[in-house]
């Protein structure tokens, strides 16, 4: 029986376990492959760690769970791997070691579930001969080559539920609630959670915001007796003329991520210009966690079954994706070309402005 | 300022208030129309009841609410209206009265939000000269002419959450849980909630089920030590050779709906054939209620804004719809042609079978 | 190191895993005992099945899970055990076998987590010399000797969330929603979920209901323009003069439980007497499932830690309980004396009537 | 018919609308009083603003809503009211104006729902002759004279749900998650949400924490292969020897509240001392929002009905409270004497330590 290894890379994302489960079930029930789990993403392959047997029995109950039973790691890029020997740290290319370990561990193919970074690594390994299939993953929904990624709907749902909680508080206390949501480069989460959560202002990285149109909107609402406003701001949103200031996750050295930069900065600007009563909430990591939504469980399950189908057909170098309502596949190379920005003439953007939501422009 | 009336017809569906809100906001912020609410669907137009002023202020806070602030009614079909005079009840066509009332009430156009029935009425009134735009609504997702209807994702989510609750109970007590979900004619809710909720068997109206393949699957799981199973059955599912036995909502006369016919019948069949420990749960009306999901709020909001845009352009006789990722419109006539059945070669069906879910065939 | 065995008996109840986890953690971190899991309740002890090692590692992640990782069984009463030999079935007392197995398996003590039935068995075994401590468990909250049981708040929460979903549907469609909740003998769930879910009528086993006062209340609401009502009825509620008709869980032979008897009967009575638009929903097993509420996780955790403390002190024959805000213990004998009925002059009952809720009297 | 006014003061708290609803329903159904709503707390009485008619009809649907339909205000202390005349701002005692307005508005009595501050004002007005009854309100559960306050269970539930989301993320990525929850002066929310959410370390204001015992616990878990930890820290927690540094809500002048001081400081200390992978999440205002839990709705409803009963009996100067399982009342004077600290030998604290949770001591 042929054997496929599975790994999960990059940041956390609701639905990873649903993909893993679907791969295992499809391998067992349909394709007759055996599945092995690789722990800690490419790090596990670099170390050549022992694999985990994956079967219907071992994956029982993981469908509704957040996180990934295979764990993840941000450190294991085999092309730029940090090696410490005799107290000296160097950056080395250990990709040959990965290929050797894949063979040594008896893997006939690999499914790599991850975001931009993971798929880039998968692509480079594929060009070196690895039989690999990619599954896209990001809560940010910013991978081109797929209309939607699993995890996104769950993140939007979590953010919307928080907005639902903040709404009556804002109204009761006549407040402007500034809510920072995830989205370093793109505004998908901000836009969709803001629409769903009844935001009055939504600020996204794709539209540098004019602070004066924002405060004008807030003052207008105050004048009309609304007495409160909800402002959703993506962590990558910035004012016109503002610098692009983005701190990579984990940052350099041991530094902590900065908390809520975009939300805090915006709130300060509003306070400087108005006498409104402003509060900031930074949703942070809860957007990456929790049980996946129905939409995401189904998309992830379809992605997993499709990936196993591609493996079975030997269609390596491809990545599964959603196109319209169909799950299909594209060359990984296409998938990692660029971010998928929010198109400024797309349905949600036009709808937002039609119902009077201010986008800072 | 021109005035548009809005009504909601048919069964309950999460997202109705989000549509109403988007219509009002788009009318106010973008198109310069005034909006009036018609209470109790076409019944309100037949009676010529007083209209409700709808403004940003009156609709505040309704986005997350289930139900419809405009109420609904199943009785008000103006073409077959039940009239009781002098103790005698007759069925009459009062559609002219509706047209007259629309004029008397000062409405320049109408937006009808509803399912199959509501859109059929809207279409007939349109052919008689009413300036009407339709918005499709059904938790069952069975309207052709739109890829997805709002309310469906919320119903699937509610059903999935119930399955999540039943799963550990089934596992702890070695039980077969038969769960009946909505879907008189189509299996969309059963299929998507079953996939998302980890069902082992999913039975839908589109596939008359062979009870022996079902019990075979359940016995196989018992033998393999799983010790429990989850069976999701649509209320319209029936065994091969079984009669199509569907009771219309509300039923004839004053009769109560029968509770859980499909689930109960299936459970009895399983018990006759096996010694498995079976329990039935009928989810019922909770699937129609609750706060709409993020997906549905956004789809409903886009539908509402689009409907107001169609009204403003004078594109009457059309119904808004989702095609791929785009909100667009079609003639209402197309929309009411037939049910949208689950295609047996669609992605979710193929995925279900690839991961070993039994569909009764 | 001394060893304690743990088992879970009876119906499902959110919080069982939280008790198990607290026992294991307290044994490990505080008391220096080793913990073994007994699978399938007393059935496991009768068969003398292999025990499961329980440690911080094996119980990781179970706190939020419904169900019980040790599984349960309704069949294993050692005093009336059904034995089938040579095709003949007899009822035997195998309690000596249990005591022998406890010794053979190397258990120095036992913690039995369960309801009325489980604690009765524990008590009888204790009198025969078993070193056993009890932990009360029932979603029905009907065990005397403890102010509250874990699982109850979760069940009330689930029922309330369903009522929240049904409320707008009832209001939108001018309906009377009859909602049957659990409670064969006592009305705790009905009373507390009805209060929390905004019920207009709450019917409990402790108060045989006068159907005329119920329909009077419903008609009065209709007259005042409320146009809808929510009626919560415990499965054990019955009309005045009605027979006490209670079907034991699982019933005799292989029969299915009857679905929604109390709710269905009540709805029929309302329909006979009024022209109201009535719908029935039977919440069923979802009330037993799902992730335990914060209240229940904490109560269960306190119960588990306390039980392990009692074991360590050799206080056998006792059952942990909540008294006011304190977790303490009582002799098991006291705990199984009688049901804890809803006192008709208690705070929740008086509050319900003060705010105009009809209790059928 | 006599008339009672109702106001809600202080910060937001789930359950306020449930209290209001119970007062209105009890007044209408039981006591024969008319109820008027005072908008914006004491501010509304100072301004003598128009009152709102409150009836079953106007309060329909508010039971599950967060916030308060009567709005709140932090500015309206009539004893130290900020008055701006001719560009000059002074602090004045306008309590006589409040008493005069109460009479002018035709109020025979007042129910003040609020926290420490609101009850202090109510008490001083009572001593000046106002017929006032108090209802305690705080999510922090830190009011002495009542065993539990409504809002607390909801806040704990929200925090626990966030911990549930963060748990798998922490585990998947081998992280220490530092989660800051509300609690400036007391640790109730941190303790109960930490217990319910499976925290490994819980730091509360009542126990200044020794950073070395905290990092020791975290390193020990890392060594034992747990690979991740959850640390819950109250916003008022501080290290031993640390300064008591608490910023009042809203702060002086127009300043923003500082985000996540306690969590950020703790994370930095852990990073300085270990090589653990640390992330901070600050839950913030979402803990004050959202639909009240079943527990809180029922406690709030009982408080509201009881308050109306006290008004009807003329028992002014009293505040309703929970004692054990009974709702009763105490003189307001007793209620505002001091904070209710977490007793260090209470059940939850002892349980936490018994199961190995580190409390920083």
Q: DSSP label at A17?
A: H
- pLDDT band of residue C243 (cuts 50, 70, 90) is low
Q: Are B347 and A326 in contact (CB under 8 A)?
A: yes
Give me the pLDDT at residue C252, please: 33
> pLDDT for B288-316, tens place per residue?
999 999 999 999 999 999 999 999 999 99
State mean pLDDT over A65-72. Answer: 94
**Percent of chain A at pLDDT exceeding 90:** 83
| Number of cross-chain residue pairs from B and C with Cβ atoms under 8 Å apart | 142
Q: Closest Cα to residue D200, out of D184, D182, D189, D216?
A: D216
Min distance C312 CA to chain D CA atoms (Å): 12
What number is the average pLDDT over the span D64-93? Answer: 91
Res C218: pLDDT? 96
Average pLDDT, chain D: 92
* CATH architecture of the domain covering C154-289: 3-Layer(aba) Sandwich (3.40)
Contact between A134 and A304 under an 8 Å Cβ cutoff? The reply is: no
Which residues are CB-neighbours of B152 under 8 A, at least 6 positions away? B138, B139, B140, B141, B188, B189, B192, B296
Contacts of residue C172 in chain B, CB cutoff 8 Å?
8, 12, 16, 67-68, 71-72
CA C278 – CA C218 distance, rounded (Å): 11
Q: Which of D8, D278, D282 sits opposite A256 (nearest CB)?
A: D278
Band of pLDDT at residue D253, cut at 50, 70 and 90? very low
- C140 in active site: yes
Q: Give the total residue count for chain C.
A: 361
Q: How confident is the model at residue D337 (pLDDT cuts 50, 70, 90)?
A: confident
* D275-293 pLDDT, tens digit each: 999 999 999 999 999 999 9
pLDDT recorded at residue D118: 94
Nearest CA in chain D to C308: D354
Helix (H, G, I), strand (E, B) or coil at C121: helix
Q: Which residue has the higher pLDDT, A247 or C57?
A: C57
Classify domain B3-150+292-335 by CATH number: 3.40.50.450
pLDDT band of residue B256 (cuts 50, 70, 90) is: low
Is residue D188 within 8 A of residue D142, CB to CB? The reply is yes
Tell me the range of A322-331, B238-247, C250-259 where mean pLDDT is highest.
A322-331
Confidence of residue D227 (pLDDT cuts 50, 70, 90): confident
Give residue A249's pLDDT band: very low, low, confident or very high (50, 70, 90). Answer: very low
Calpha distance A318→A298 (Å, rounded): 21
**Chain-chain contact of A295 with B298 (C-beta, under 8 angstroms):** no
Give which of B326, B291, B325 is closest to B306, Cα–Cα.
Answer: B326
pLDDT tens by residue, C91-130: 999 999 999 999 999 999 999 999 999 999 999 999 999 9
Q: What is the pLDDT of residue B346?
A: 84
Q: Among C66, C250, C264, select the one facing B165 at the smallest CB separation.
A: C66
Q: Minimal CA–CA distance to D143: which of D164, D103, D114?
A: D114
Report chain D residues whose CB lies below 8 A from the CB of C347: 302, 325-327
Per-residue tokens: B59:
């609709």
Tens of pLDDT, residue by residue over B199-247, are 999 999 999 999 999 999 999 999 887 789 999 999 999 999 765 444 4
* Chain C: closest CA distance from residue B266 (Å): 11
Q: Are C135 and C144 in contact (CB under 8 A)?
A: no
Q: Where are the alpha helices (DSSP H) in chain D?
A: 16-26, 41-47, 95-104, 116-127, 152-172, 188-196, 211-223, 261-273, 294-313, 332-335, 347-354
**Which residues neighbour A116 within 8 Å (Cβ) at sequence distance 6 or greater?**
A10, A138, A143, A336
- Terminal Cα-to-Cα distance of chain C (whole angstroms): 59
Residue B30 pLDDT > 80, yes or no? yes
Collapsing DSSP states into helix, strand and coil, what is residue A261? helix
**Strand A229-234 versus strand A176-181 pairing type:** parallel
List of E strands, chain A: 3-8, 34-37, 52-54, 81-85, 88-92, 109-114, 132-136, 176-181, 201-203, 229-234, 278-282, 318-323, 326-331
Chains contacting chain B through 3 or more C-beta pairs under 8 A: A, C
User: What is the chain D residue with the closest CA to C58?
Assistant: D226
Structure tokens at D135: 């209802």
**pLDDT attached to residue C76:** 83
Q: Residue A174 and residue D66: Cβ atoms within 8 Å? A: no
Instruction: In whole angstroms, give the CA distance from residue A57 to residue B199.
Output: 15
Compute the distance between CA of residue C252 and CA of residue C248 in angstroms, rounded to an integer.
Answer: 8
User: What pTM, to 2 d.p., does this model score?
Assistant: 0.95
Which chain A residue lies closest to B60 (C-alpha atoms)? A226
Distance from CA of D29 to the nearest CA of C (A): 5
Four-CA torsion C89, C90, C91, C96, nearest 10 degrees: -110
Give the model's pLDDT for residue A248: 41
C3-150+292-335 with C154-289: one CATH topology? Answer: yes
Kindly report which listed range (B256-265, C75-84, C159-168) carries the lowest average pLDDT score.
Answer: B256-265
Distance from the Cα of residue C261 to its chain's centroid = 19
Report the C-alpha gap between C195 and D295 in whole angstroms. Answer: 10
Partnered with residue D181 across adjacent β-strands are: D234
Cross-chain CB nearest to C172 (options B67, B275, B278): B67
Residue D249 pLDDT > 60 = no
The interface pTM score, or ipTM, of the predicted complex is 0.94
C chain contacts of residue B279, beta-carbon cutoff 8 Å: 256-257, 284-285
* Cα–chain center distance at A225: 38
The residue among D135, D161, D129, D108 whose CA lies nearest residue D41 is D135
Two structure tokens written together for A113: 């579930």
- Reply yes or no on whether the pLDDT at C285 is more than 60: yes
Indicate the domain borders of chain C. 3-150+292-335, 154-289
Cβ B174–C12 below 8 Å, yes or no? no
Q: Is C203 exposed, middle or buried (0-12, 13-18, 19+ CB in 10 A)?
A: buried
**Which strand ranges, in their side-by-side order, compose the sheet holding D52-54?**
D52-54, D34-37, D3-8, D109-114, D132-136, D318-323, D326-331
pLDDT of residue D251: 37
Cβ distance B280 to C256 less than 8 Å, yes or no, reads: yes
What CA–CA distance (Å, rounded) separates D37 from D21? 11
Q: What's the pLDDT score for residue D144?
A: 87
Residues of C in contact with D348 (CB under 8 A): 298, 302
Strand, coil or helix: D71:
coil
What's the pLDDT score for residue B259?
A: 62
How is residue A226 written in tokens? 């609304």
Rounded distance, CA A181 to CA A189, Å?
Answer: 7
D172 to A73: CB separation less than 8 angstroms, yes or no:
no
Supply the pLDDT for residue D325.
Answer: 84
Quick check: helix, strand or coil at residue A155?
Answer: helix
Residue B156 pLDDT > 90: yes
Neighbours of chain A (3+ CB pairs under 8 A): B, D
CB contact under 8 A, C348 and D298: yes
pLDDT at C32 over 90: yes
In this complex, which of B171, B195, B294 lies closest to A196 when CB atoms are compared? B294
Answer yes or no: is pLDDT of B254 > 50. no
Average pLDDT (C230-234) is 98
* Residue D257 banded pLDDT, cuts 50, 70, 90: low
* Contact in structure between C66 and B168 (CB atoms under 8 Å): yes
Dist CA A231 CA D14 (whole Å): 22
- Chain A positions touching B294 (Cβ under 8 A) are 153, 156-157, 160, 192-193, 196, 293
Residue C53's DSSP bridge partners are C36
* CATH architecture assignment, domain B153-289: 3-Layer(aba) Sandwich (3.40)
Q: Do A192 and B298 touch (CB under 8 A)?
A: yes
- For residue D91, the model assigns a pLDDT of 94
pLDDT at A315: 98
Q: Residues of D with CB below 8 A from A179's CB?
A: none
Which residues of A participate in catalysis according to the annotation? 140
D140, D142, D200, D296: the active-site residue: D140
8 Å CB contact of A156 and B294: yes
For residue C259, list chain B residues with Cβ-Cβ distance below 8 A: 259-260, 264, 280, 282
Q: CA–CA separation, D289 vs D15, rounded Å?
A: 10
Instruction: Give residue D242's pLDDT band: very low, low, confident or very high (50, 70, 90).
Output: low
Give me the torsion for CA of C100, C101, C107, C108, rounded to 10°: -20
CB nearest D298 (choices: C22, C57, C195) = C195
Q: What is the pLDDT of residue B260?
A: 73
Mean local confidence (pLDDT), D98-115? 97
Q: What is the pLDDT of residue B347?
A: 87
End-to-end Cα spacing for chain D: 59
Contact (CB<8Å) B165/C290 = yes
With CB atoms and an 8 Å threshold, state whether C355 touches D171: no
Please report the pLDDT score of residue C257 as a whole number: 59
The pLDDT, as a whole number, for residue A47 is 93
Indicate the burial class of B200 (C-beta count within 10 angstroms; 0-12, 13-18, 19 or more). Answer: buried
Q: Which of B113, B169, B180 to mutate to test the interface with C (most CBs of C within 10 A)?
A: B169
**Does B65 sit within 8 Å of C168, measured CB to CB?**
yes
Q: For the segment D137-151, what is each residue's pLDDT rounded down to a tens digit?
A: 999 999 988 999 999
Task: Check if the beta carbon of residue C4 is closer than 8 Å to that of residue C19.
Answer: no
Q: Give the Å distances, CA to CA, from D120 to B116, C58, D94.
A: 59, 51, 15
Mean pLDDT of B111-128: 96
What tokens were used for C134? 């009890």
Tell me whether residues B347 and A326 touch, CB distance under 8 A: yes
- Of the candidates C264, C275, C289, which has its C-beta nearest B259's C-beta? C264
Residue of A nearest to B228 (CA): A60
3-class DSSP assignment, residue D211: helix
- Give the closest of B8, B171, B289 to C67, CB-based: B171
Three-class DSSP category at C18: helix
Task: Identify the pLDDT of residue C248.
Answer: 41
Mean pLDDT (whole number) for B51-79? 92
What residue of C is the nearest CA neighbor of B282?
C282
Mean pLDDT along residues A12-22: 97
Three-state secondary structure string covering chain B? CCEEEEEECCCCCCCHHHHHHHHHHHHHHHHCCEEEECCCHHHHHHHCCCCEEECCCCCCCCCCCCCCCCCCCCCCCHHHEEEEECCEEEEECCHHHHHHHHHHCCCCEEEEEECHHHHHHHHHHHHCCCCEEEEECCCCCCECCCCCCCCHHHHHHHHHHHHHHHHHHHHHCCCEEEEEECCCCCCHHHHHHHHHCCCCEEECCCCCECHHHHHHHHHHHHHCCCCCEEEEEECCCCECCCCCCCCCCCCCCCCCCCCCHHHHHHHHHHHHHCCCCEEEEECHHHHHCCCCCHHHHHHHHHHHHHHHHHHHHCCCCEEEEEECCEEEEEEHHHHCCCECCCCCCCHHHHHHHHCCCECCC
Q: How far is CA C267 from CA B220, B287, C134, C215, C275, in A?
A: 41, 20, 40, 10, 12
pLDDT in tens, B158-168: 999 999 999 99
Helix/strand/coil percent split, chain C, to 5: 40, 20, 40
Query: Is the predicted pLDDT of residue A110 greater than 70, yes or no?
Result: yes
Tell me what pLDDT residue A246 has.
46
CB contact under 8 A, A198 and B63: yes
Among B168, B196, B297, whose Cβ lies nearest the Cβ of A297? B196
Given a contact cutoff of 8 angstroms between Cβ atoms, the answer to whether B183 and B204 are in contact is yes
The whole-angstrom distance between A345's CA and the closest CA on chain D is 33
Strand partners, A331: A318
- The answer to whether the Cβ–Cβ distance between B285 and C169 falls below 8 Å is yes
Given this model, what pLDDT does residue A255 score?
A: 52
Choose among A133, A139, A131, A187: nearest CA to A321: A133
pLDDT in the model for residue D98? 97
- Residues of B forming the active site: 140
pLDDT computed for residue A226 by the predictor:
73
CA distance A112 to chain B (A): 19
Distances (CA, A) of D326 to A352, B25, C324, D153: 50, 48, 10, 17
Enumerate the residues of chain B whose CB falls inside 8 A of the CB of residue C164.
289-290
Query: C178-212, pLDDT tens digit by residue?
Result: 999 999 999 999 999 999 999 999 999 999 999 99
Contact B355 A295 (CB under 8 A): no
What pLDDT shows up at residue B227? 82
How far away is chain C from the Cα of D268, in angstroms, using its nearest Cα?
Answer: 27
Superfamily of domain A152-289: Phosphofructokinase domain (3.40.50.460)
Q: What region, left, alpha or beta, does residue B269 occupy, with left being phi > 0 and alpha being psi -120 to 50 degrees?
A: alpha
C254 to chain B: nearest residue by CA? B271
| Average model confidence (pLDDT) across chain A | 92
**C289, C291, C293, best to mutate vs chain B, most B CBs in 10 Å:** C289
- Inter-chain touch C256–B267, beta carbons under 8 Å: yes
For the segment A150-161, the average pLDDT, to the nearest whole number, is: 98
Give the closest of B56, B295, B326 to A347, CB-based: B326
For residue C56, how many other CB atoms are within 10 A of its CB?
Answer: 18
Share of chain C above pLDDT 90, in %: 83
């Amino acid at each position: 029986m042929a054997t496929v290894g599975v790994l999960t890379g990059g940041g956390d994302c609701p639905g990873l376990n649903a993909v893993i489960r679907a791969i295992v079930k499809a391998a067992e029930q349909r394709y007759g492959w055996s599945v092995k789990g690789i722990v800690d993403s490419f790090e596990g392959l670099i170390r050549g760690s022992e694999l985990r047997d994956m079967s219907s029995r071992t994956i029982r109950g993981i469908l509704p769970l957040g996180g990934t039973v295979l764990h993840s790691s941000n450190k294991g890029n085999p092309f730029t791997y940090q090696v410490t020997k005799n107290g000296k740290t160097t950056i080395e290319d250990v990709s040959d070691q990965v290929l050797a370990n894949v063979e040594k561990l008896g893997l006939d193919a690999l499914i790599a579930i991850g975001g931009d970074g993971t798929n880039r690594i998968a692509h480079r390994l594929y060009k070196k001969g690895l039989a690999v299939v990619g599954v896209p993953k990001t809560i940010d929904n910013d991978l081109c080559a797929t209309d939607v990624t699993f995890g996104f709907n769950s993140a939007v749902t979590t953010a919307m539920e928080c907005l639902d909680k903040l709404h009556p508080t804002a109204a009761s206390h006549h407040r402007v609630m500034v809510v920072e949501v995830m989205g370093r480069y793109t505004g998908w989460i901000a836009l969709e959670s803001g629409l769903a959560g009844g935001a009055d202002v939504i600020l996204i990285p794709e539209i540098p915001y004019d602070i004066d149109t924002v405060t004008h909107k807030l003052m207008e609402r105050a004048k009309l007796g609304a007495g409160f406003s909800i402002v959703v701001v993506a962590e990558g949103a910035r004012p016109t003329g503002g610098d692009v200031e983005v701190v990579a996750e984990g940052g350099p050295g041991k530094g902590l991520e900065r908390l809520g930069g975009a939300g805090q900065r915006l709130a300060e600007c509003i306070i400087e210009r108005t006498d409104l009563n402003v509060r900031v909430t930074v949703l942070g990591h809860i957007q990456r966690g929790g049980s996946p939504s129905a939409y995401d469980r189904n998309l992830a399950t379809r992605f997993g079954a499709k990936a196993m189908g591609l493996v079975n057909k030997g269609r390596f170098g491809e990545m599964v994706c959603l196109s319209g309502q169909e799950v299909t596949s594209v060359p990984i190379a296409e998938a990692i070309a660029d971010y998928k920005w929010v198109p400024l003439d797309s349905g949600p953007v036009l709808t937002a402005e039609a119902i009077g939501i201010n986008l800072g422009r």
